[in-house]
A and B are shown apart, each in its own frame.
Chain A
């Protein structure tokens, strides 16, 4: 399975601190995507990083991709209570013939 695995499973930090979540996957990928899910809501797309990219930024979010290690990280800087949510990485196999595959997610709690 090329399923992504997020690490840690749960993370609790103080408001203002940075949060780093990691994702590892098993096969060669076309792209890797990060999503956020607030409790009781659907997943919201955050960032897509292609296999030939190493880093992308979007506001307070920074995503890195290391294809040699088959891993990615999501950094949220200056966290806010509103960032409390579950974060998922998802990958698309390089063949393009498989669906977007999600991991189990990291549950982030930001304490005000």
Chain B
């Protein structure tokens, strides 16, 4: 089966610009997650979709971040306007069932975002 794919793999933008990250989960996986790792720090949860609904968005840092999953398939994460502290690697993951139900997460290779 195809894995989780993320696009782009790298993005360099200037402060104040907008960037949209895309994630295609494994086909049939209802659960989709976004995580972020800032250099040298822990991998932090951003939000969790179940199909097209936001199950948990407690990790979204502020209203400059907008995640969507229209139709319950692929997801986008838009940062507008980007700030310097948004730099990091953004990971998307999917799972058949939730992590709470002992389902492992399958991760994409991440998008490395650099805001200058």
Partner-B contacts on A (CB < 8 A): 3, 30-31, 33, 35, 40-45, 48, 50, 88, 90, 92, 96-105
Partner-A contacts on B (CB < 8 A): 4, 33, 35, 40-45, 48, 56, 58-59, 91, 93, 98-102, 104-110
Residues of chain B within 8 A (CB-CB) of A41 are 109-110
Q: A99-B48, A102-B35, A104-B42 are in contact. Are A50 and B109 (CB under 8 A)?
A: no
CB distance from A12 to the nearest CB of B (A): 18
Cβ–Cβ contact B43 & A99, under 8 A: no
Q: A43-B91, A100-B45 are in contact. Are A92 and B99 (CB under 8 A)?
A: yes
Q: A99-B45, A100-B45 are in contact. Are A92 and B100 (CB under 8 A)?
A: yes
Can you name 8 extra interface pairs (CB under 8 A) apart from A88-B43, A101-B45?
A42-B91, A42-B108, A42-B110, A45-B105, A50-B102, A92-B99, A96-B100, A99-B45
CB distance from A77 to the nearest CB of B (A): 22
A-B contact pairs, 15 of them (CB 8 A): A30-B100, A30-B102, A31-B102, A33-B104, A40-B109, A43-B105, A48-B104, A88-B43, A96-B101, A97-B100, A99-B56, A99-B58, A100-B45, A101-B45, A102-B42
A104 to B58 Cα, complex, angstroms:
20
A100 to B101 Cα, complex, angstroms:
11
Cβ–Cβ contact B33 & A3, under 8 A: no
Residues of chain B within 8 A (CB-CB) of A3 are 42
Partner pick for A42 among B42, B58, B100, B107, CB 8 A cutoff:
B107
Residues of chain A within 8 A (CB-CB) of B108 are 42
CB distance from B27 to the nearest CB of A (A): 17
Cβ–Cβ contact B104 & A45, under 8 A: yes
The residue on B at minimum CB distance from A91 is B99
Residues of chain A within 8 A (CB-CB) of B58 are 99
A98 to B56 Cα, complex, angstroms:
8
Residues of chain B within 8 A (CB-CB) of A45 are 104-106
Partner pick for A100 among B41, B99, B110, CB 8 A cutoff:
B99
